[in-house]
Amino acid sequence: MSRKTAVITGASRGIGLAAARRLAAAGWQVFSLSRTKGPDEEILWIPCDVSVEESVNQALESACTQAGRLDLLICNAGMGISGAVEFTSEEDAELQINVNLLGAVRCARKGAAVMRKQGYGKILFISSLAAIFPLPFQSLYSASKAGLNVFSDALGIELAPFGIQTCTIMLNDVRTDFTGSRKKTETGDEIYGGAIRASVGKMERSEQSGMTPERVAEAVFRLAEKKKLPAHKIVGASNQLLGFLYRILPSGLMLRIIRGIYG
Ligand SMILES: NC(=O)c1ccc[n+]([C@@H]2O[C@H](COP(=O)([O-])OP(=O)(O)OC[C@H]3O[C@@H](n4cnc5c(N)ncnc54)[C@H](OP(=O)(O)O)[C@@H]3O)[C@@H](O)[C@H]2O)c1
């Protein structure tokens, strides 16, 4: 019988690479869909830009033809922009939504078609706690991840009759190149009393002292092997507490707390 197969977008580095390595170590066949090649030969690289539909379709087609099956699709590729909304260019706003949200939509659309025919499969979306605790000066990033959560939930209902499950994994801070790759603008910082630089700087320090990508990879692996997926998964002990607070706190109070930390 052929090996279980996973396709991961953005496995050239960071969380995607750690997840790919964890799955490969357990015997899975793993394809990475990214613009650049990662360091490991055993992770099969297919060039792909998730912001381009044709590129996604060709890459997924190639992976599924080579493997003959698709057990797991992990929509992980992502990037961040930061800055005040009123000074965010149309181009950057579109880029943020195109890569993080529409990129996942394109992959899920193509992956779902394959999984529906075979009658099984799992689709994991790498989301962020910013989806439920929205971050000032990262409004579009937060919106892209909130969109991903809702998309995964609705898609999961659509695909359940075909044996396909979806799950969003909401992460807190992870130590990766994500921080250095962020597209930042501090335009208008003087108007906002220095809050843009202070808020994003705080977030960056928090990311760089965050958990390792290997810890996320372990959680992803457990979900990959699990029979029944939860709709949402928050990774990390303190994050469980945050999830609990999210469920019980009135939204006004929650936003005041976020304002106190990042406002
Ligand atoms: N790090 C954190 O603190 C954190 C927290 C919460 C959620 N997340 C989420 O976790 C995911 C992975 O982030 P990371 O921390 O591992 O960041 P990373 O180290 O910067 O890795 C990002 C990955 O996404 C790929 N990617 C970016 N744009 C792409 C595109 N247009 N087409 C295809 N691939 C693309 C990159 O590959 P190429 O450049 O080779 O294309 C790379 O492999 C993201 O969705 C991010 O939002 C991260």
Q: Whole domain around residue 103: which residue ranges?
A: 5-262
H helices of 160-194, in order, are 178-181
5 contacts 29 by C-beta, under 8 angstroms: yes
| pLDDT score recorded for residue 243 | 77
184 in active site: no
Number of domains in the chain: 1
Place of tokens 């949200």: 101
- Name the band, by pLDDT with cuts 50, 70 and 90, for residue 239: low
Mean pLDDT on 47-62: 98
Query: Mean pLDDT for the chain?
Result: 95
Q: Is the pLDDT of residue 254 over 80?
A: yes
Instruction: Express as a percent the part of the chain with pLDDT over 70.
Output: 99
Could you confirm whether 2 is annotated as catalytic? no
12 is catalytic: yes
**Can you list the positions of beta strands (E) in the chain?**
5-9, 29-34, 44-47, 72-75, 81-82, 121-128, 164-171, 183-184, 232-234
Q: Ligand 1 within 6 A of 77 CB?
A: yes
pLDDT band at residue 247 under the 50/70/90 scheme: confident
What confidence tens digit (pLDDT) does each residue in 77-92 have? 999 999 999 999 999 9
Mean local confidence (pLDDT), 194-205: 95
For the Cβ of 56 lying below 6 angstroms from any atom of ligand 1, the answer is no
Q: What's the pLDDT score for residue 263?
A: 83
Instruction: Choose among 124, 102, 105: nearest CA to 11.
Output: 124
Mutation pick for ligand 1 pocket among 15, 94, 233 (CB with most ligand atoms within 8 Å): 15
By mean pLDDT, which of 79-93, 172-186, 230-244 is the weakest?
230-244
d(CA 254, CA 241): 14
Say whether pLDDT at 1 is over 70.
Answer: no
Q: Work out the pLDDT band at 245, boundaries 50, 70, 90.
A: confident
Cα–ligand 1 centroid distance for 141 (angstroms): 12
Q: What CATH number has the domain bearing residue 52?
A: 3.40.50.720
- pLDDT confidence of 244, banded at 50, 70, 90? confident
Q: How far apart are CA 128 and CA 130, in angstroms?
A: 5
Active-site residue (options: 32, 34, 127, 139): 127
Confidence label for 62 from pLDDT (cuts 50, 70 and 90): very high
One-letter identity of residue 117: K
- Helix, coil or strand: residue 136: coil
215 pLDDT more than 80: yes
pLDDT for residue 246 = 83
pTM of the model: 0.96
Tokens 């390792």 correspond to 212
* Cβ–ligand 1 contact at 171 (below 6 Å): yes
Whether residue 55 has pLDDT greater than 70: yes
Tell me the CA–centroid distance for residue 161 and ligand 1, in Å. 31
d(CA 173, CA 37): 24
Amino acid at 175: R
